[in-house]
């Protein structure tokens, strides 16, 4: 080691000093110089070696301390993360309605034991290699269902995991145990309270994990630490749970508890019955371990079973368990660089000593003249004259020294030039870094840089301004300081999966400021890599998108709720009916839909005005909500039509139609009686009655559309009976149903008989007012029924599946017309927008079918625009994106139809390759009439443009609506303001007029 070399050098120097005193009296100047130089050099090198040995050893120790502490902390966080994650899983699983209902209803059908057992097996399959069993205990601790059949029926009320949860029984009643031994097999136990809807504990969900999962985790850990190092996990009873280097030491005692304590731990199954005491650590190690603190977590010690080598060990206490994780590295490994430097030092000293001898010998051979001249040259160089050259021309040692000196001078000169260039380059780099730093410091977006463990190393001022934290408060913290708990954990899993793989990740996070306010951020995180393509840090670029999210929430609310009454609108009501039907099928219950229309409501508008009518509707909405339970639904379908959905809760699993029908009748009479009570609007008191139609699930239909239609039919029957009453739907009821059947029957032959035809409604460029395309609208004229509205036959075609054939006919006919317009009239850039139905879009071969039709008519994709409804996009998103990408590859334009009437938000648009957004007519009608609706149009146009989407205003009928949309940058206008729907030959005439007007401008 360097210490040995240093001692040798100092000893040699002292010896030469004694010899030098003697030599100085008897020998030549050459010997004197040689001895003096050797004394100085060897002594200096010895002292330097001593100092280097000490500094290098201390630095290596300190560096090792930091690495060990960081490694121990990292490993502890992984175990804590495992404990928290599995606790959260258990808490979520315990809250499942099926689990709760199984406990509450004591395993009565349909919550049979086998069904619940399948659910528990599904839970177990989450980590089937390590989860030994899942079980449900009732309130008294009796095992009701267990994936381990041998445990079913056991009384577990005395177990610590049951008593702990029962004592805490609340939302946070989750328990995870330390190691417990069953038949000397180590296991981990997690348990969670099962609470009913009132918060009362009705049982416990318990999971047993094999403790081998810890060994598996530490096998991965062992591969990440240095040679000779090891990791040991120690519980609060000094039991080794894991030893990464000596696996045979797992579940052996590192220190021996008192006899009574040892017996108690065995009774509690906290130790194996035959726990080994053959590998106890020294009393000194136990003493040092007890004095470990957060400020000084490193100890130096030997370990049982690992010889006499000393180790540096970092000790870290877990947060979720009373365990300590100990990461140890041999001192010999840590100090290896010191040993390695010894050999280099020997070589270096030898070279230096040799050079000293040579220089001294050469110097003594020089004559006084050359030495003086050389000395003068040295002085000139020392004064800064690097151009000075030694002129000694002798071929002896002095001449060689002079030549070497001249070369050295030239080398120094070159080095100075190179150094100046390097300094200039560094200045340029520093200038660029300063500019980059200023750009980041002044950036309007937030910037954060962390190390690979997530520790924050840099934040810019914008991030501090947004979060409210100072730079000092953030540096050294983990970004979890901003975590609000509202972002799904799957987001973070996906994020870490991407960035640890060296990829960038982009997503939206719902974070929390220092003052507790929540805010949305659009975050992009990318790895920062070194010259070897290794990730060294993570860079996060964040943008506050809270305002955009507020707009989206407002859009969603206005798309789902009636703005007059704040009740759910038709769209949201339809969604709730679908959910109620799904629950009713599962729970074998009934549902009632009450379709209500106020009698003679028109008289209020005619006599008191529409303002009074609106006040009346709001007043009645409040009465209707007060008439039903919180989990029932009251919705406004439009005008004075309301829907009430009653859900059966009193007769689960065995209720019949008759009893439920009586309940519904009584509730309807109560509602009608409450509605008919006098009310005062604008100072006038009057009474209004209502007519109600009732449809029941499952007797009257199993589809929301059918149930609503049947309830509507029954409502009209009640009006015909004299109003202020109600009617239950019957299959024989109303001519409307008969007409629907007749339309459905005739629809099947309409395509073959050639009864369908197309009309085209023009699409106008808002800026140039030139016709650029048209939307294809299907029409049906039946020989007997006459003109049948698309609103009547399109839903039937969708239900029957005929819409696929009809859609193909529309595509064929439209392409035929486009080809004719282009060939005969020369309108080469005209395109046609065609609406794709849900069935047509999700049918097999839709892309190939459209491609074949285009090829058949010799057309390219740019002649088509396909209109997709919002609702179609919300299922099987990857499949939808794949189809839309194929359309885009064909150069077909894609548009969102009737935007604002579905459930989606603007944020989903980024996931699909749309070109155009069509604003629904319902929003266009608000322009000039409703400031809120007009503001909503503003927001839709602005945000669509921000996403790079074009705008089509649908249903534009007035100059005011046209100018409003044009002034806000809408590209295309459609509606009666431009043209009514026209047949193909009429539309081509309109195109001619449009071209003529364009050429005359």
pLDDT in tens, 479-513: 999 988 888 888 889 999 989 998 999 989 999 99
CA separation for the pair 251, 211 (Å, rounded):
11
Residue 602 reports pLDDT greater than 90: no
pLDDT of residue 240: 83
Query: For residue 520, what are the β-bridge partners?
Result: 510
Mean pLDDT of 626-642: 91
- Phi and psi at residue 177, in whole multiples of 5°? -95, 165
Distance of CA 476 to CAs 84, 471, 479, Å? 23, 10, 10
Residue-wise pLDDT tens digits, 554-591: 887 878 899 899 999 998 999 999 999 999 998 889 99
pLDDT at residue 787 is higher than 80: yes
Lowest mean pLDDT among 79-88, 382-391, 447-456, 781-790: 382-391
pTM of the predicted protein model: 0.38
Crossing angle of helices 657-675/610-626, nearest 10°? 140
What is the pLDDT at residue 2? 46
CA dihedral 735, 736, 741, 747 (to 10 degrees): 130
Between 952 and 9, residue with greater pLDDT: 952
The reported pLDDT for the residue numbered 963 is: 93
Q: Which of 2-6, 577-581, 662-666 has the lowest mean pLDDT?
A: 2-6
Residue-wise pLDDT for 925-960, tens only, equals 888 877 877 888 888 888 888 888 999 999 999 999
Q: Which residue from 368, 364, 345 is spatially nearest to 356, judged by alpha carbons?
A: 364
Residue 917: partners with Cβ closer than 8 Å, 6 or more residues away: 895, 896, 899, 909, 940, 944, 949, 950, 951, 952
Phi, psi (deg, nearest 5) at residue 287: -65, -45
- Asked if pLDDT for residue 903 goes beyond 80, the answer is no
Band the pLDDT of 12: cuts 50, 70, 90: low
Cα separation, 196 vs 89, in Å, equals 18
| Domains, the chain, ordered by start | 67-342 (3.30.450.20), 443-544 (3.30.450.20), 560-733 (3.30.70.270), 742-996 (3.20.20.450)
- The whole-number pLDDT of residue 902 equals 44
Q: Which of 972, 922, 983 minimizes the C-alpha distance to 949?
A: 972
Q: Report pLDDT digits (tens) over 747-783.
A: 888 999 999 999 999 999 999 999 999 999 999 999 9
* Predicted pLDDT of residue 973: 96
SS3 101: helix
CB 519 within 8 A of CB 545: no
d(CA 700, CA 657): 11
Higher-confidence position of 833 and 224:
833
Residues in the chain: 1001
> Looking at residues 11-39, what average pLDDT do you find?
59
Indicate the average pLDDT of the chain. 83
Number of CB atoms found within 10 A of residue 513's CB:
14
One DSSP character per residue, 976-1000 reads TTT---B-HHHHHHHHHHHHHHHHH
Q: Of residues 631 and 36, which shows the higher confidence score?
A: 631
């Amino acid at each position: 080691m360097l210490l040995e070399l240093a001692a040798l050098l100092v000893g040699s120097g002292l010896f030469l000093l004694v010899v030098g005193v003697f030599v100085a009296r008897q020998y030549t100047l050459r010997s004197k110089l040689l001895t003096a130089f050797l004394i100085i050099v060897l002594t200096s090198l010895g002292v330097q070696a001593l100092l280097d040995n000490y500094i290098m050893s201390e630095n290596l120790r300190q560096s090792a301390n930091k690495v060990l502490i960081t490694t121990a902390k990292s490993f502890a966080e992984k175990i804590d993360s495992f404990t928290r994650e599995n606790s959260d899983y258990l808490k979520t699983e315990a809250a499942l309605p099926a689990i709760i209902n199984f406990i509450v209803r004591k395993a009565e059908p349909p919550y049979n034991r086998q069904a619940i057992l399948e659910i528990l097996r599904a839970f177990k399959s989450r980590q089937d290699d390590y989860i030994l069993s899942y079980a449900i205990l009732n309130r008294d601790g009796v095992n009701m269902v267990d994936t381990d059949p041998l445990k079913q029926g056991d009384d577990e009320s005395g177990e610590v995991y049951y008593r702990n949860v029962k004592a805490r029984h609340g939302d946070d009643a989750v328990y995870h145990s330390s190691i417990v031994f069953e038949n000397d097999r180590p296991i981990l136990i997690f348990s969670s309270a099962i609470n009913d809807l009132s918060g009362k504990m009705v049982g416990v969900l318990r999971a047993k994990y094999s403790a081998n999962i810890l060994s598996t985790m530490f096998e991965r850990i062992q591969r990440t630490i240095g040679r000779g190092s090891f990791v040991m996990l120690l519980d609060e009873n000094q039991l080794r749970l894991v030893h990464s280097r000596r696996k045979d030491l797992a579940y052996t005692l590192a220190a021996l508890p008192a006899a009574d304590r040892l017996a108690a731990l065995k009774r509690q199954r906290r130790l194996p019955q035959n726990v080994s005491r053959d590998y106890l650590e020294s009393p000194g190690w136990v003493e040092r371990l007890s004095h470990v603190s957060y400020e000084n977590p490193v100890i130096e010690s030997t370990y049982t079973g690992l010889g006499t080598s000393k180790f540096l060990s970092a000790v870290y206490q877990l947060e979720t368990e009373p365990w300590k994780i100990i990461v140890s590295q041999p001192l010999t490994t840590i100090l290896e660089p010191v040993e390695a430097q010894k050999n280099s030092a020997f070589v270096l000293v030898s070279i230096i000593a040799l050079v000293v001898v040579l220089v001294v010998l050469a110097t003594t051979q020089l004559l006084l003249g050359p030495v003086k001249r050389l000395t003068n040259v040295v002085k000139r160089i020392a004064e800064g004259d690097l151009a000075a050259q030694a002129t000694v021309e002798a071929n002896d040692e002095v001449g060689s020294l002079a030549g070497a000196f001249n070369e050295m001078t030239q080398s120094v000169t070159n080095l100075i030039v190179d150094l100046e260039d390097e300094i200039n380059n560094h200045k340029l780099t520093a200038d660029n870094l300063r500019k980059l730093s200023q750009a980041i410091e002044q950036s309007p977006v937030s910037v954060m840089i962390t190390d690979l463990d997530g520790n924050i190393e840099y934040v810019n001022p914008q991030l501090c301004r947004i979060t409210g934290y100072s730079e000092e408060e953030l540096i050294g913290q983990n970004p979890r300081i901003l975590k609000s708990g509202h972002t799904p954990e799957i987001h973070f899993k996906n994020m870490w999966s991407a960035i640890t793989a060296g990829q960038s990740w982009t997503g939206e996070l719902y974070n929390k400021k220092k003052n507790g306010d929540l805010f949305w951020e659009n975050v992009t995180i990318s790895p920062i890599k070194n010259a070897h393509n290794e990730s060294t840090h993570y860079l996060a670029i964040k943008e506050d998108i809270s305002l955009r999210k507020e707009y989206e929430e407002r859009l969603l609310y206005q798309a789902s709720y009636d703005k007059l009454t704040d009740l759910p609108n038709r769209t949201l009501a339809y969604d709730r009916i679908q959910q109620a039907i799904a629950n009713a099928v599962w729970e074998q219950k009934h549902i009632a839909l009450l379709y209500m229309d106020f009698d003679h409501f028109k008289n209020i508008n005619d006599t008191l005005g529409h303002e009074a009518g609106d006040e009346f509707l709001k007043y009645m909405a409040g009465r209707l909500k007060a008439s039903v339970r919180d989990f029932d639904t009251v919705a406004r379908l439009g005008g004075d039509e309301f829907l009430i959905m009653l859900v059966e809760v009193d007769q689960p699993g065995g209720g019949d139609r008759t009893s439920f029908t009586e309940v519904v009748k009584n509730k309807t009479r109560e509602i009608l009686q409450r509605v008919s009570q006098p009310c005062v609007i604008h100072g006038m008191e009057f009474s209004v009655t209502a007519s109600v139609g009732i449809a029941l699930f499952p007797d009257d239909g199993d589809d929301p559309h059918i149930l609503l239609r049947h309830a509507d039919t029954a409502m009209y029957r009640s009006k015909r009976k004299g109003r202020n009453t109600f009617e239950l739907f019957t299959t024989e009821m109303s001519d409307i149903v008969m007409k629907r059947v007749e339309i459905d029957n005739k629809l099947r032959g309409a395509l073959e008989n050639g009864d369908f035809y197309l009309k085209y409604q023009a699409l106008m460029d808002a800026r140039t007012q030139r016709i650029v395309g048209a939307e294809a609208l299907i029409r049906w004229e039946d020989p007997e029924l006459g003109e049948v509205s698309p609103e009547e036959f399109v839903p039937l075609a969708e239900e029957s599946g005929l819409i696929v054939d009809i859609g193909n006919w529309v595509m064929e006919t439209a392409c035929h017309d486009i080809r004719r317009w282009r060939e005969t009239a020369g309108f080469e850039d005209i395109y046609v927008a065609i609406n794709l139905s849900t069935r047509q879009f999700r049918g097999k071969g839709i892309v190939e079918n459209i491609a074949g039709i285009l090829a058949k008519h010799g057309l390219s994709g740019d002649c088509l625009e396909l209109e997709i409804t919002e609702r179609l996009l919300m299922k099987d998103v990857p499949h939808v994106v794949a189809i839309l990408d194929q359309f885009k590859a064909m150069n077909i334009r894609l548009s969102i139809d009737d935007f604002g009437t579905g459930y989606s938000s603007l944020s989903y648009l980024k996931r699909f390759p749309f070109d155009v957004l069509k604003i629904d007519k319902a929003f266009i009608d608000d322009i000039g009439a409703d400031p809120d609706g007009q503001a909503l149009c503003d927001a839709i146009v602005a945000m669509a443009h921000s996403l790079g989407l074009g705008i089509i205003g649908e249903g534009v009928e007035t100059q005011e609506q046209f100018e409003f949309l044009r002034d806000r940058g809408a590209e295309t206008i459609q509606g009666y303001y431009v043209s009514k729907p026209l047949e193909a030959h009429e539309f081509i005439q309109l195109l001619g007029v449009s071209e003529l007007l364009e050429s005359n401008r």
